[in-house]
Amino acid sequence: MPLPRFYKLDPEQRENLLGAARAEMLEHGYEGASFNRVIERAGISKGAMYYYFADKADLYRTVTETIAEEAMAAFGDLGPVSTPAEYWGGLEGMMQRALMWITSQPQLAEIGKSVYANQGGVLDSLRARLLEGVSDILKQGQDVGAIRTDFPLGLLAEAATGMMMGADRWFTEHFAEMPSEEVMRISFAVYGLLRQLLEPQGK
């Protein structure tokens, strides 16, 4: 969260600062991005930058947040659900939209994933929010009997997210040399894997 003054800046300049930071991060990744270069890119002085952002982490966190928001908007939501079938249908739709966004914006997605990989760093709050979002979705599933209730919700969310991230990793490594219908087939199978993990057992 930038210092409050940041939001009194005219939108053009705000966009300029965040844009410069985003460009730098896209070029060099989250770790490799240089604060000094961002400042240069934005064409302002160091003093000014520190006048609006507490520190480097503050700026990068802000940028990452905007990316996360874009992703969430692209993923959409479940839609109205009152039966397990509707729930799983809604989830499948979300997953498809997510897959599309990730493949169409691979660099942005890379930064998004670094939020999940982050451990005990500055992105922790964002990570917590992500997990909360997943938990909410699972909770909805429990309410209509689509998701098992024999595990702590948080554990289920971590396990499911971890599994999906693992699968995603495999995809990013292999999907270049795969025919696209194979990608579709396997990603649908992964959806089945997730469903198998999360559905109530003994049915």
Site residues (vs DNA, CB under 7 A):
5, 8, 33-37, 44-48, 50-52, 55-57
Cβ proximity to DNA: between 37 and 113 the closer is 37
- Round to whole Å and give the CA distance between 192 and 20: 41
Cβ neighbour number for residue 51 with a 10 Å cutoff? 12
Contact 45/39 with Cβ under 8 angstroms? yes
Q: What is the largest CA-CA distance in the chain?
A: 64
Q: Residue 121 binds which entry of its own copies, DNA, none, with Cβ cut-offs from 5 to 8 Å by kind?
A: its own copies
The torsion region of residue 198 among left (phi > 0), alpha (psi -120 to 50) and beta comes to alpha
Amino acid at 6: F
Q: Which stretch binds its own copies (CB under 8 A): 41-49, 89-97, 138-146, 159-167?
A: 159-167
Q: Which is nearer to DNA, 37 or 129 (CB)?
A: 37
User: Going by C-beta distance under 8 Å and a sequence separation of 6 or more, which residues neighbour residue 96?
Assistant: none
- Asked if 29 and 110 touch (Cβ cutoff 8 Å), the reply is yes
- Give yes or no for residue 139 binding its own copies (CB under 8 A): no
- Region near its own copies per CB under 8 A, out of 40-48, 49-57, 87-95, 195-203: 195-203
Nearer to DNA, 46 or 169 (CB): 46
Q: Which is nearer to its own copies, 78 or 167 (CB)?
A: 167
Applying the rule CB under 8 A, the residues between 55 and 114 that interact with its own copies are 113-114
